[in-house]
Structure 1
């Protein structure tokens, strides 16, 4: 049995925070605001995986009202989501994600993001795809107020 899920996440860009995407710290004057490390890419991916397995969403499993998740690495959240999938008899077939940001340019960081995701999920790097685009200066991402991420994931019951 194959199942597909999608995920979406947005975080505001603010001063005084690191910009972490796909578990990679990216040099930039602004970072993402959030309870955890605010890694929008991994949050969207977690939601896609949880949705595919019918396990709800990230906020249900790791609420921002719970101090144990304050500042946590989203790679750890992805690992916990993967453990939940495996406990239900699923494994990840592939993932595909799109980052939407006007700045900074992300292309040079994508190989490391893909490797982090593949390593965390225990799959090959060619089963993980990450893309980046801008909105041609339109909307909140174009005005550099925030960053968005979309993800889809295909899982299979073993």
Structure 2
């Protein structure tokens, strides 16, 4: 079994939808970024890629590549799932936490779990999502941005060389 860890941060700005786990959440601001800036899915992708030794989302989906402008992070997560499968890896479990002072996210978490499980082709019970605040402390507590952490385990099979960002 292999373990991966992911972390992501995005600034909250006016004029963008707030998308977390592929769910559009009613809020007065959204996350700023090249794609849909889904901080949760980005942390999950980095955890999965890290566990497989396949680099990070920046090397697979660079933020200066116009193909990824405004793209749904769930589509990118699906591609990460295909990279893992091509490398002989299967997702065992994902555990993630969103750090945000507002809005309240509990009611949206089932949809986030379902979306990520669906695109990765795993059972929902293998994907866990939590949300927490920072009690008003730091950039998340002041409402400047959101962060997400993710840890995952994957089960390796035969690794296929050449699917990572460290090709020589």
TM-score range, shorter chain: over 0.9
Query: What is the match of residue 43 of structure 1?
Result: 42
Instruction: Count how many residue pairs are aligned between Structure 1 and Structure 2.
Output: 157
Query: What is the match of residue 16 of structure 2?
Result: 17
Distance 2:98 2:65 in 1: 27
Query: What is the match of residue 59 of structure 2?
Result: 60
Per the TM alignment, residue 112 of structure 1 is displaced from its structure 2 partner at its CA by: 0.3
Deviations 1:36-81 (A, max 9, x none): 0000000000000000000000000000010000000000000000
User: 1:110-121 to 2 correspondence within 5 Å?
Assistant: 110-121=109-120
SS at match of 1:132: strand
Q: Please, which runs of 5 or more residues in structure 2 have no aligned partner?
A: 158-168
Distance 2:95 2:30 in 1: 23
Deviations 1:79-114 (A, max 9, x none): 000000000000100000000000000000000000
1:6 and 2:5 aligned: yes
Query: What is the match of residue 107 of structure 1?
Result: 106
Runs of 4+ in 1 over 2 A off after TM superposition: none
Distance 1:20 1:153 in 2: 21
SS at match of 1:37: coil
Distance 2:29 2:103 in 1: 9
Query: What is the match of residue 163 of structure 2?
Result: none
User: 1:64-75 to 2 correspondence within 5 Å?
Assistant: 64-75=63-74
- Superposition RMSD in Å: 0.4
Q: Please, which runs of 5 or more residues in structure 1 have no aligned partner?
A: none
Query: What is the match of residue 153 of structure 2?
Result: 154
Q: TM-score, normalised by structure 1?
A: 0.99
